[in-house]
Amino acid sequence: MSATTKKRVNLALQGGGAHGAFTWGVLDAFLADGRLEVAALSGASAGAMNAIVFADGMREGGPDGARKQLAEFWRAVSLDGDLNDHERKMFDSFLGFWDPLKIGQTIAENATSYISPYQSNPLDINPLRDVVARLIDFEALRATDHLKLFVSATCVRTGKIRVFRRPELTIDMLMASACLPTVFKAVQVGDEFYWDGGYMGNPALFPFFTETDVDDVILVQINPIERKEIPHTARDIMNRLNEITFNAALLQEFRAIDFVARLVDEGRLDGTHYKKIRMHLVDGGPALDAYPADTKLNADFDFFQKLFAIGKKAGEKFLKDNFEAIGVKGTLDLKEQLT
């Protein structure tokens, strides 16, 4: 396929525990299709993991290299992967953070019964770090800039978002983006300490607006913004709270994008640096929503493959339905998302 037929896009990748394997499938579909050129990726937590693995694979071997690297990553962190028994227990704890019932139990515990990661994991053992260190060459990744990277983390002290960029990116910054405060110690980067980026940007969209020349953003969404059913069980209630919390910052950015778009259409921002962003969405729909919240801690590779298949199908459908619109108009109705 000639380069002239490619369309440049920015990819925004949500985090969501084991359900990040859905995003793996979407990325594989895009890479296999070959008609998209990724200018930049933004991700938080599992989304940041997918973004970095994608970027390093592209650096090493182009689209085929990225597909291979993503497959190796998800195999490595599965029960069928190469983690030892201790690392496996820690990774299960990492995935367990996404179980809303466990989150509810943690909230309900009093201060004397809660064991912080500074007590339960004093050596701060993180199996994800070991997997990433084996797969990713951060020095080489920093030295190239064929696509931009934006990795979000939440500053513990200020509660504000921090976005790390490719030229400065280290393994500590990536670990900060995926640092779950109930499992791992806050990650120090410079003089500050950070927790999971999903709290303040899941994922962050604003870097795309001023740091790339691409106006099309494809959001790969794991956590649904809307559900028709009212939750009744403890697990379903906590799951919905989880989804609302991790979508809050995203909805704020949707409002800003919609507001700027309306001002641009009215001609009130002529001569300024503001631009109209064309938003697109890939989600798992009912196929992904059918998996309950506790499956976010399922580390079986067979399960990852099921999510991968759902993601690949969703990515292929997105391209079939929306490729022609890319570069022309947005296909995500922001007003519908906000009302």
Q: Which region, left, alpha or beta, applies to residue 269 given φ > 0 means left and ψ of -120 to 50 means alpha?
A: alpha
pLDDT at residue 115 tops 80: no
Two tokens, residue 52: 């970095």
Give the mean pLDDT of 75-100: 59
AA identity, residue 51: A
**Over the chain, what is the mean pLDDT?**
85
pLDDT at 101: 38
Q: How far is CA 7 from the centre of its chain?
A: 22
Of the candidates 136, 148, 143, 147, the one whose C-alpha atom is nearest the C-alpha of residue 69 is 136
Separation of alpha carbons 148 and 144, rounded Å: 10
Q: Using pLDDT thresholds of 50, 70 and 90, give the confidence band for residue 277.
A: very high
Two tokens, residue 81: 């992967």
Q: Using pLDDT thresholds of 50, 70 and 90, give the confidence band for residue 182.
A: confident
Q: What is the pLDDT of residues 153-174, one digit of tens each?
A: 999 999 999 999 999 999 999 9
pLDDT at 97: 41
pLDDT at residue 1 tops 50: no
Q: Is residue 9 within a helix (H) or strand (E), and if so which, with residue range?
A: strand 7-13
Range from 6-20, 246-260, 313-327 that averages highest in pLDDT: 313-327
Helix, strand, or coil here: 258? helix
pLDDT at 289: 84
pLDDT at residue 287 tops 80: yes
Give the mean pLDDT of 232-246: 80
Give me the DSSP letters along 137-154. -HHHHHH--SSEEEEEEE
DSSP 188: E
